[in-house]
Amino acid sequence: MTITLSNQLWLYDTTLRDGTQREGLSVSIEDKLRIAYRLDELGIPFIEGGWPGANPKDVQFFWQLQQKPLKQAEIVPFCSTRRPYTKAVDEPMLEAILAASTRWVTIFGKSWDLHVIEGLKTSLDENLAMIGDTIEYLRSQGKRVIYDAEHWFDGYKQNPDYALQTLKTAMTAGAEWLVLCDTNGGTLPHEVSEIVSVVIGQEQKTIPQIGIHTHNDSEMAVANALAAVMAGAKMVQGTINGYGERCGNANLCSLIPNLQLKLGYSCIGEHQLNQLTGVSHFVSEVVNLAPDEHAAFVGRSAFAHKGGIHVSAVERNPLTYEHIQPEQVGNRRRIVISEQSGLSNVLSKARTLGIELDKNDPQTRQILQRMKELESEGYQFEAAEASFALLIYEALGQRKQFFEVKGFQVHCDLVEMKETTNSLATVKVAVNGKNILEAAEGNGPVAALDAALRKALVNFYPPIADFELTDYKVRILNGNTGTSAKTRALVESGNGQKRWTTIGVSTNIVEASYQAVVAGLEYGLLLYFQPK
Amino acid sequence: MTITLSNQLWLYDTTLRDGTQREGLSVSIEDKLRIAYRLDELGIPFIEGGWPGANPKDVQFFWQLQQKPLKQAEIVPFCSTRRPYTKAVDEPMLEAILAASTRWVTIFGKSWDLHVIEGLKTSLDENLAMIGDTIEYLRSQGKRVIYDAEHWFDGYKQNPDYALQTLKTAMTAGAEWLVLCDTNGGTLPHEVSEIVSVVIGQEQKTIPQIGIHTHNDSEMAVANALAAVMAGAKMVQGTINGYGERCGNANLCSLIPNLQLKLGYSCIGEHQLNQLTGVSHFVSEVVNLAPDEHAAFVGRSAFAHKGGIHVSAVERNPLTYEHIQPEQVGNRRRIVISEQSGLSNVLSKARTLGIELDKNDPQTRQILQRMKELESEGYQFEAAEASFALLIYEALGQRKQFFEVKGFQVHCDLVEMKETTNSLATVKVAVNGKNILEAAEGNGPVAALDAALRKALVNFYPPIADFELTDYKVRILNGNTGTSAKTRALVESGNGQKRWTTIGVSTNIVEASYQAVVAGLEYGLLLYFQPK
């Protein structure tokens, strides 16, 4: 591997191996394949796929990739060194990674004397032999080897000579990359900087390339990786969204833009960088974890602006309140509607909804006024943009009345000896002057209400058949007055293509939810029957 | 302010001001007061309470704190400099912060020429006058002043001379702290380090203390704050759990242990440091956001270990896989699949409730078993210790049955032309073999249920007359399935002297709330009629 550009870095993704160690995350082989193909498109050069020697599912994963290989990326299996006092050639774990038929393999070994003696219960010399033999054997089988030096920083701090000896052994045996791992995540950037410099200084003439692998236990994983790169490391290991054991691994979604946009290193192509937000959301969808809305660079709130002056300034010159252009990482600017909103927020929010308001029009001030009134009652439009759109249409006299709810009843019964509570809702709705009475059941009063309303309306508005409630959140306001406190309900609805969120507020939790459900139906209908 | 110890740092919490800028977070005055008192106990010396000049709720908050002041901490109002071409004495915003009656005030001003010209639309000289006048006026009114230099790092990079002039002006006018803010969160640690060193070097002889205020847009907020401290900053601003606008502020829950345990700075007392995990969870409960289970130091997974060698190694020598002792920050080690660790959890939790369990008693294992079953259904006993106590009493055969609910019905009606929804609940309860049927109304199904239950029971258990629901929180679990998602209800009850919290989980929100209400009554009765 020849380095031609001094600013070229090699990314190494371990979402599929270290990332899956995150508590609560589990993936199928199909999930892993989908993620691998997506990372390949993103331009990640090394993708660690798993530990086939320890996990039979991973054997299958590598086999499937042989049938339909990645386009650009090297897929890499991961394995430990041979066990103490065995021969590498007899080690079934190594057989398993050879069977993965990849060009590259990653081997991890112990750097910290304490772990050799207390963990492996072997001698320091035998550990060196394990590292050397394993790598030599894999080289003899035609593999290119990345060596992960586990617990490197802790080991170096306790016994630098021994730690350096393990690296030398791996290098002599033919490893092309030596990756320094902060396995416990306890190291701080100034230490990383110092220790990486020592390694690079010491070995300058003979050493292959140095890599960095960090964990987030001190909320330093990304900062530590940057510190290592600035000290000369050329490979950066991490995971999408920072998934990983305990507090996670270094987050590639933060690392890549920091390295590329701020420090001028080259990691992936520009047309790939703007896929980053998409990849982050894709991976969180596949592993079924809610995306972190406040994540740096790729979070939904990462470029969200609140205050009034703030918004008018950002629209005049985005540089004033944004550290990068959101589009560079495939994210977008968002103007948030909140208690502190001024007119300019209302205008720009309306614009994203396709409505041009005039700043000097008294109607615009009325909208702001009405919004503030509702906010003081506990409404909050930040997360309920569809309700805000309805408010604007109403102020403009453009809120089409699809239907009118004349009343509803909900009954919840827990009857003797029964395990579950059933809810039954009855609604009376008027459409075009005609009253409809409908009833439906559900496993909760809100589900029952929603079902009854849709049943009543679907004959008039057939698109309602595709609507569904996709998320439901409840927050009790000024909670200190117990159950008579005000309740704020947020309902997210969808039609298979688009999702929208509406809000309701009331002292009665059923009433608040009902308001949000009704507004959700109404907004959904507007998607089909737009006001002029 | 005289600095006596070279390693002393001053923490400045802005959870109640900058933290509440987080999208989706909103707090009542009561919430803010509860958090302020808790931060005071934690030993935070400066607590920023809000911006009374911009937010009428904050005026009330400061007024309430005058009635019941904090014990140790300085509560600080926040405000901008006076507007261009006005007099500080005529500025209503400044009047509002004087009315807060605090010893300290924080004033923020512009450091970046671009913001002065494009944002404030005034001259560079006028901005300096605004900074100087405002601080002088507040000094003349007897206030001690912290000056927040907004957009400091961006400003310094564009026009270092002007940025330094703004600091000099603030200092000359009498500010005792100059806080350098990375408002857009785009700065990297090596830049922070360099720029803070320049400021401290430049001004060494005359300057007051330097502070640092960072944002997390590059996932660098904590690393940047550390870099500033290592370059000589003495005040560190941040928020609990890193709450804040966009991607959040510097997370005090990571900063404090990094500074104190790793770098040897003194921030809060040792007996306060071990409250950190508790404070993190308390604040997330109060603001009703799910805690980040993977947060550094304080997350539930931060010291979670999975099976195998790892676990036995960590049990022999925790240093091998843990960067700090979890107890130092009030967290604990968790062995994810080992029953042993679960057992010690149960034992230690029981101990906090005054119940001594025997580790080898089969009953203790039964409690663990039951707890795990319930947790897999969505129960969580961390914030519902009264429910956990009931579970233990049950396993020990000591759960006194005060009453048995035979069934309930709740009706919620929104009838035509009426503004509010009424709820009517009917309950059938058996006490000492006698069935009682009672009905009651309330402004919500839960309030109605609670009223009906208490009406049915008060004649048998007179203390119930003093019971009241003091708080009620609802969270939807796995929210992605809409209203049929599981609901977790937490109910806090009180009797005027003591408060206790109970939990219920069900797909039906009414059923979940009902479970928590019933458990709350039951636990309350135990306070009067203790099991042997």
Beta strands in B282-325 (DSSP E): 304-305
Q: Do B511 and A319 touch (CB under 8 A)?
A: no
Chain B residues near residue A262 by CB distance under 8 angstroms: 186, 188, 218
Beta strands in B221-343 (DSSP E): 235-238, 304-305, 334-335
Order of all β-strands in the sheet with A499-506: A468-476, A487-494, A499-506
Highest mean pLDDT among A104-113, A374-383, A484-493: A104-113
Going by pLDDT thresholds of 50, 70 and 90, the confidence category of residue B310 is low
**Average of pLDDT values for A292-296?**
94
**Average of pLDDT values for B77-99?**
96
How far apart, in Å, are the Cα atoms of B433 and each of B401, B406, B427?
11, 11, 16
**Average of pLDDT values for A265-286?**
91
Residue reference for tokens 């045996």: A173
Task: Choose between B106 and B405: higher pLDDT.
Answer: B106
Task: Choose between A361 and A245: higher pLDDT.
Answer: A245
CA distance B326 to B334: 10
The pLDDT of residue A2: 37
Q: Which of A339, A443, A483 sits opposite B507 (nearest CB)?
A: A443
Q: Is residue B67 pLDDT above 70, yes or no?
A: yes
Going by pLDDT thresholds of 50, 70 and 90, the confidence category of residue B478 is low
What does the pLDDT look like over A21-72, one tens digit per residue?
888 777 888 889 999 999 999 999 999 999 998 877 899 999 999 999 999 9
Going by pLDDT thresholds of 50, 70 and 90, the confidence category of residue A491 is confident
Task: Choose between A83 and A203: higher pLDDT.
Answer: A83
Q: Is residue A323 pLDDT above 70, yes or no?
A: yes
Q: Do A470 and B482 touch (CB under 8 A)?
A: yes
Nearest CA of chain A to the CA of B142: how many Å?
30
Q: Is residue A349 pLDDT above 90, yes or no?
A: no
The pLDDT of residue A482: 54
pLDDT, mean over chain B: 87
Q: Do A483 and B472 touch (CB under 8 A)?
A: yes
Residue A174: exposure state from Cβ atoms within 10 A (0-12, 13-18, ≥19) = middle
Nearest CA of chain A to the CA of B175: how many Å?
26
**Could you tell me whether strands B304-305 and A422-431 are parallel, antiparallel, or unpaired per DSSP bridges?**
unpaired
Closest CA to B520 of B403, B438, B432, B426: B403
Q: Where are the alpha helices (DSSP H) in A68-123?
A: 92-99, 113-114
Q: Which CATH class is domain B10-268?
A: alpha beta
Q: Do B323 and A218 touch (CB under 8 A)?
A: yes
The pLDDT of residue A444: 79
Listing DSSP states for B427-491 in one string gives EEEEETTEEEEEEEEESSHHHHHHHHHHHHHTTT-GGGGG-EEEEEEEEESSGGGGGGS-EEEEE
Q: Do B258 and A23 touch (CB under 8 A)?
A: no
Q: Which of A247, A407, A421 sits opposite B510 (nearest CB)?
A: A421
**Angle at A323 (CA atoms; ends A318, A327), nearest 5 degrees:** 70
CA distance B328 to B256: 11
Task: Choose between A143 and B411: higher pLDDT.
Answer: A143
Q: Is residue B308 pLDDT above 50, yes or no?
A: no
The pLDDT of residue B532: 42
CA distance A526 to A354: 13
Q: In this prediction, what percent of chain B has a pLDDT beyond 90?
A: 54
Residue B483, Cβ neighbours under 10 Å: how many? 29
CA distance B331 to A62: 39
Listing DSSP states for B435-450 in one string gives EEEEEEEESSHHHHHH
Going by pLDDT thresholds of 50, 70 and 90, the confidence category of residue B1 is very low
The pLDDT of residue A279: 94
The pLDDT of residue B472: 78
CA distance B441 to A100: 68
The pLDDT of residue B63: 95
CA distance B45 to B292: 26
Nearest CA of chain B to the CA of A200: how many Å?
20
**Average of pLDDT values for A212-216?**
98
Going by pLDDT thresholds of 50, 70 and 90, the confidence category of residue A203 is low
Q: Is residue B16 pLDDT above 80, yes or no?
A: yes
What does the pLDDT look like over A64-78, one tens digit per residue?
999 999 999 999 999
**Of the given ranges (A406-410, A508-512, B18-22, B247-251), which has the lowest mean pLDDT?**
A406-410
The pLDDT of residue A4: 42
Q: Is the pTM of this model over 0.80?
A: no
CA distance B82 to B106: 13
Task: Choose between A479 and A341: higher pLDDT.
Answer: A341
CA distance B84 to B378: 55
Q: Is residue B449 pLDDT above 50, yes or no?
A: yes
Of A246, A311, A490, which to mutate for an interface test with B (greatest number of B Cβ within 10 Å)?
A246
The pLDDT of residue A421: 65
The pLDDT of residue A3: 40
**Could you tell me whether strands B235-238 and B10-13 are parallel, antiparallel, or unpaired per DSSP bridges?**
parallel
Going by pLDDT thresholds of 50, 70 and 90, the confidence category of residue B90 is very high
Mapped onto helix, strand or coil, the DSSP state of residue B114 is helix
Q: Which CATH class is domain B403-529?
A: alpha beta
| Ramachandran category for residue A464: left, alpha or beta (phi over 0 → left; psi -120 to 50 → alpha) | alpha
Q: Is residue B325 pLDDT above 50, yes or no?
A: yes
**Average of pLDDT values for B245-257?**
97
Q: Do A508 and B317 touch (CB under 8 A)?
A: no
The pLDDT of residue B88: 96
**Of the given ranges (A30-44, A417-431, B229-243), which has the lowest mean pLDDT?**
A417-431
**Average of pLDDT values for B238-259?**
97
Nearest CA of chain B to the CA of A69: how many Å?
32
Residue A373: exposure state from Cβ atoms within 10 A (0-12, 13-18, ≥19) = exposed
Nearest CA of chain A to the CA of B16: how many Å?
15
Chain B residues near residue A470 by CB distance under 8 angstroms: 480, 482
Interface A–B counts its CB contacts (< 8 A) at 355
Q: Do B226 and A188 touch (CB under 8 A)?
A: yes
CA distance A40 to B483: 37
Closest CA to B467 of B517, B430, B415: B517
Q: Do B483 and A320 touch (CB under 8 A)?
A: no
Q: Where are the alpha helices (DSSP H) in A7-90?
A: 29-42, 56-67
The encoded tokens of residue A503 equal: 């809000």
The pLDDT of residue B338: 39
Q: Is residue A1 pLDDT above 50, yes or no?
A: no
Chain A residues near residue B21 by CB distance under 8 angstroms: 306
Closest CA to B256 of B247, B244, B243, B265: B265
Identify whether the C-beta of residue A26 lies closer than 8 Å to the C-beta of residue A20. yes
**Of the given ranges (B77-81, B257-261, B338-342), which has the lowest mean pLDDT?**
B338-342
CA distance B75 to A345: 31
Mapped onto helix, strand or coil, the DSSP state of residue A20 is helix
Chain B residues near residue A114 by CB distance under 8 angstroms: 317, 319-320
Return the exposure string of B240-269: e unless at least 16 CB atoms fall within 10 Å of the residue's CB, then b. Answer: bbbbbbbbbbbbbbbbbbbbbbbeebebbe
Going by pLDDT thresholds of 50, 70 and 90, the confidence category of residue B510 is confident
**Average of pLDDT values for A74-96?**
96
What does the pLDDT look like over A149-182, one tens digit per residue?
999 999 999 999 999 999 999 999 999 999 999 9
pLDDT, mean over chain A: 87
How far apart, in Å, are the Cα atoms of A193 and each of A188, A197, A267, A397, B111?
9, 6, 20, 63, 31
**Of the given ranges (A223-232, A336-345, A510-519, B333-342), which has the lowest mean pLDDT?**
B333-342
CA B412 centroid distance within chain: 35
Closest CA to A446 of A423, A477, A420: A423
Closest CA to A321 of B109, B164, B112: B112
Handedness of CA B324, B325, B327, B332 (dihedral sign): positive
How far apart, in Å, are the Cα atoms of A212 and each of A147, B35, B284, B375?
11, 39, 33, 38
**Angle at B387 (CA atoms; ends B383, B392), nearest 5 degrees:** 120
CA distance A144 to A467: 53
Q: Is residue B10 pLDDT above 80, yes or no?
A: yes
The pLDDT of residue B340: 43
Q: Is residue A196 pLDDT above 50, yes or no?
A: yes
Helix or strand run (H / E) with residue B209: strand B209-214
State the greatest distance between any 2 C-alpha atoms of chain A, in Å, as a whole number: 89
Across-strand partners of B214?
A: B182
Q: Where are the alpha helices (DSSP H) in A12-123?
A: 29-42, 56-67, 92-99, 113-114
**Average of pLDDT values for A176-192?**
97
Chain A residues near residue B413 by CB distance under 8 angstroms: 407-410
Identify whether the C-beta of residue B289 lies closer than 8 Å to the C-beta of residue B23. no
CA distance B276 to B257: 9
Task: State the Rg of chain B over Cα.
Answer: 27
Exposure of B447 in the CB half-sphere (CA atoms within 13 A):
21
Q: Is residue A128 pLDDT above 70, yes or no?
A: yes
DSSP symbol at A73 = P
Q: Is residue B482 pLDDT above 70, yes or no?
A: no
What does the pLDDT look like over B137-158, one tens digit per residue?
999 999 999 999 999 999 999 9
**Average of pLDDT values for A125-152?**
98
Chain B residues near residue A294 by CB distance under 8 angstroms: 22-23, 216, 246-248
Q: Is residue B61 pLDDT above 90, yes or no?
A: yes
CA distance B493 to B499: 6
Q: In this prediction, what percent of chain B has a pLDDT beyond 70?
A: 89
Q: In this prediction, what percent of chain A has a pLDDT beyond 90?
A: 54
Q: Do B510 and A412 touch (CB under 8 A)?
A: yes
Of A218, A260, A311, A484, which to mutate for an interface test with B (greatest number of B Cβ within 10 Å)?
A218
Identify whether the C-beta of residue A346 lies closer than 8 Å to the C-beta of residue A367. yes
**Average of pLDDT values for A290-311?**
84
Q: Which of B262, B483, B506 sits opposite A447 (nearest CB)?
A: B483
Across-strand partners of B409?
A: A413, B426
Q: Do A423 and B473 touch (CB under 8 A)?
A: no
Q: What are the sequence ranges of the domains in chain A? A: 10-268, 304-395, 403-529
Report, in this order, helix, strand and coil percent for chain A, each rounded to 5. Answer: 45, 20, 35
Q: Is residue B480 pLDDT above 60, yes or no?
A: no
Chain A residues near residue B254 by CB distance under 8 angstroms: 218-219
